[in-house]
Chains A and B, each alone.
Chain A
Amino acid sequence: GIQVEQSPPDLILQEGANSTLRCNFSDSVNNLQWFHQNPWGQLINLFYIPSGTKQNGRLSATTVATERYSLLYISSSQTTDSGVYFCAVETSFNYGQNFVFGPGTRLSVLP
């Protein structure tokens, strides 16, 4: 089945710093989403981005489908950005696996 990797696994930042999180996937996808899991376990949908670039406030994401990677940019980070960021992919050729999640990037933003 499709493989999803995320880097870095852990990231520690000072408040106000910028960061880039990466997601690599091993096959073509028809759906890619980024999620933020807060300290209470809730997964918040940040972006649906199978290709192209989107921006939402301090967050933006870019997916280069032909090269099989996606990037999540966080600018001017705040302590509330702390948590784990997951990318999840779905492929039409992966019947039975639904969405496949990467292992996540754990972000800690220090005040």
Chain B
Amino acid sequence: KAGVTQTPRYLIKTRGQQVTLSCSPISGHRSVSWYQQTPGQGLQFLFEYFSETQRNKGNFPGRFSGRQFSNSRSEMNVSTLELGDSALYLCASSLVPTPTNEKLFFGSGTQLSVL
């Protein structure tokens, strides 16, 4: 069974641009969540989607948005990029949404650099 797939692996953008990241969960998993990882703030929750609906959203500005499609694939979008958005963006999938007693499985992440 294929794992969580994130594309692209690396991205370089300039301030003011927007970016879209993609995540395909493990087959059969319907919950997708996104996390931002930076050296200063660690791993922080962005949002969670289940059945094409956003269930939870972390403490991030409205420039960060996402969506989920009927096949459970998810995208996240960051508009008007700032230097501080440079981070590793990780996607996780699970069978059911939180709160859960299920395991989380992560993709390899997208490393975003904003210049």
Are B101 and A98 in touch, CB under 8 angstroms? Answer: no
Residues of B within 8 A of A91 (CB): 99
Task: Determine whether the beta carbon of A45 is less than 8 Å from that of B101.
Answer: no
A interface footprint on B57-69 (CB within 8 Å = 1, 0 otherwise): 1100000000000
Q: By the criterion CB–CB under 8 Å, are A95 and B105 in contact?
A: no
Q: Is A33 an interface residue (CB 8 A)?
A: yes
Q: Is the interface of A mostly helix, strand, loop or mixed?
A: loop
| Residue contact A33 to B108, C-beta cutoff 8 Å | no
Take A31-B100, A96-B56, A98-B58 as given contacts and tell me if A43 and B33 are in contact as well, using a CB distance cutoff of 8 Å.
no
A73 within 8 A of B: no
Q: How far is the CB of B101 from chain A (nearest CB, A)?
A: 6
Q: How many A-B residue pairs have CB under 8 A?
A: 64
8 Å CB contacts to A: which residues of B78-115? 88, 90, 92, 98-109, 111
B58–A33 contact, CB under 8 A?
A: no
CB-CB contacts below 8 Å: A68-90 with B: 86, 88, 90
Interface size classification for chain A: 20 to 34
Partner of B106, one of A31, A45, A100, A102: A45
On chain B, which size bracket covers the interface? 20 to 34
How far is it, in angstroms, between the C-alpha of A100 and the C-alpha of B41 when the chains are bound? 12
Distance, CA A43 to CA B37, complexed state (A): 11
Any chain A CB within 8 A of the CB of B75? no
Complex alpha-carbon distance, A41 and B106, angstroms: 10
Instruction: Report if A41-B109 is in contact (Cβ < 8 Å); known contacts: A30-B101, A99-B45.
Output: yes
Docked CA distance A91–B90 (Å): 21
Give the top 4 A-B pairs by smallest Cβ distance, nearest first. Answer: A43-B106, A101-B43, A98-B45, A92-B99
Extra A-B contacts (7), CB below 8 Å, given A90-B100, A99-B98: A45-B103, A45-B105, A90-B98, A92-B99, A96-B57, A99-B104, A101-B42
